Amino acid sequence: GAGVSQSPSNKVTEKGKDVELRCDPISGHTALYWYRQRLGQGLEFLIYFQGNSAPDKSGLPSDRFSAERTGESVSTLTIQRTQQEDSAVYLCASSLLSGGHADTQYFGPGTRLTVL
């Protein structure tokens, strides 16, 4: 079946603009995760959804970041008034979440965001 897809694959924007990143999880996956990967660094957890509920939003770096999920489907990560330090690859992953976070996460290819 289809894997996790993300769009756009690349996004170049000017400082101060808003951007919206999209993630389509694997059908039937309850859990959806967003991560940020800056150049040369590890994965930074941003937020996770259980269904359309986000139990913990504390990973979002600032109030310029927000995320939504429609049911157990598409999720969007919105960054308002982008800054140069927001430049990174944004990764989305989904999993079944049948037993806490023990389930395998399936990652999308990522969206490379460049803020000029």
Q: By the criterion CB under 8 A, which residues form the site for other proteins? A: 33, 35, 41-43, 45, 48, 55-56, 59, 91, 93, 99-102, 104-105, 107-110
- Three-class DSSP category at 40: coil
Please identify, using beta-carbon distances, which residue of 22 and 59 lies nearer to other proteins.
Answer: 59
Cβ at position 43, least distance to other proteins in Å: 4
94 exposure class (CB count in 10 Å sphere: 0-12, 13-18, 19+): buried
Cβ at position 109, least distance to other proteins in Å: 5
